[in-house]
Amino acid sequence: MLRILLVATLLLNLLVFIFTQGWLDGLTGLHARGDSDPARLQQQVNPDQMQLLNAQAAKSVQARACLEYGPLIGDEALRSAQAQLDKAGIAAAQWQDLRAEQAGVWAVATIRLPNKDFQQRKEETYKRMRINFEYLAGPPEEVPTMVLSRHGSEKAAEAALEAMSQRALKGLRVMQLQAASSLHVLRFAQADGVTQGKLRGIKELGEGRSCAAGNAASDAEAASAAPSSNR
């Protein structure tokens, strides 16, 4: 009788040991360690930095807004911004590229004026002939240069130069002030709080703004209509 009790006790202890090790969890449907999962806890990354959001903060994170960034000038600028968006985990499906083409600008301009005396004589000539002019802002190797007219194509500038030549004006040339380029406005139609935070950290995008009420590409078109004289 005692031998039977001893064997039963050993079997019971063995069963308890096996159960506490979790070896029977799959068979019994019971977890030896209750509902806790130590392995999952060990896999957490910086759990001390986790914090619960109150209702107001949670609502702020979920709030969505339509935002626009740009215009970015040129396809290279677009590729650079896209690389940063990918790095931040913002998928291409979350934004739209509103593209506009910026035309080139050509001018009828003087040669680089070699000295003050030559520059003064040119000014007097153009004023006497009532020809408007302005000084080129750059680049440094072209300063001082006088710009007599601006045109949307090289052909138009060549025609204007020919007309100037008919008036016995010399020392003029056709000069490209601005190359044709693409402008890109990036539109995020449904940016939630998390996405907005990521966008603020991408310097390549610049400052964001709310989407235009009417034409979403208005900024790109406005920039396209304002040629630069620094090229």
Q: Which residues pair with 101 in a beta bridge?
A: 182
63: nearest Cα among 191, 200, 209, 188: 191
Give me the mean pLDDT over the 211-230 stretch. 50
Q: What is the pLDDT of residues 54-85, one digit of tens each?
A: 555 555 556 899 999 999 999 999 999 999 99
Does some domain include residue 189?
Answer: yes
Question: Which structure tokens are listed for 154?
Answer: 């090289």
Would you place residue 48 in the very low, low, confident or very high pLDDT band (cuts 50, 70, 90)?
low
Residues 124-136: pLDDT tens digits? 999 999 999 999 9
Record the tokens describing residue 20, joined without a space: 């506490």
Same domain, 113 and 172: yes
* Co-location of 169 and 206 in the same domain: no
Does one domain contain both 82 and 187? yes
Rounded Cα distance, 226 and 131, in Å: 23
Instruction: Judge if 99 and 185 occupy the same domain.
Output: yes
Domain hosting 76: range is: 61-103+181-224
Joined together, the tokens standing for residue 168 give: 């016995």
Which position has the higher pLDDT, 136 or 224? 136
CA angle 155, 111, 161 (to 5 degrees): 30
Are 122 and 217 members of one domain?
Answer: no
For residue 219, the SS3 value is helix
Q: What is the dihedral of CA 51, 56, 59, 61, to 10 degrees?
A: -50
Is residue 218 in some structural domain? Answer: yes
Same domain, 88 and 188: yes
Return the sign of the alpha-carbon dihedral for residues 223, 224, 226, 230: positive
Q: Please give the average per-residue pLDDT across 196-216, as a whole number.
A: 85
Do 168 and 187 lie in one domain? The reply is no
Q: Are residues 99 and 186 in the same domain?
A: yes
In angstroms, the CA 195 to CA 186 distance is 14
Tell me the C-alpha distance between 26 and 175, whole Å.
81
Domain count, the chain: 3
Instruction: Answer for the pair 111, 171: CB distance below 8 angstroms, yes or no.
Output: yes
Scored b (16 or more CB within 10 A) or e, 40-79 reads eeeeeeeeeeeeeeeeeeeeeeeeeeebbbbbbbeeebbe
Residues 97 and 192 in one domain: yes
- In angstroms, rounded to a whole number, what is the distance separating the alpha carbons of residues 14 and 6? 12
97 plus 122 within the same structural domain: no
Q: Are residues 81 and 195 in the same domain?
A: yes
Q: Is the pLDDT of residue 31 over 50?
A: yes
The 3 state secondary structure assigned to 100-163 is EEECCEEEEEECCCCCHHHHHHHHHHHHHCCCCCEECCCCHHHCCCEEEEEECCHHHHHHHHHH
Q: Are residues 22 and 136 in the same domain?
A: no
- Angle separating helix axes 55-62 and 193-200, nearest 10 degrees: 70
In a domain, 50, yes or no: no
pTM over the 0.85 mark: no
Vertex 40 angle, CA 193 and 51, to 5°? 35
pLDDT of residue 49: 54
The CATH number of residue 81's host domain is 3.30.70
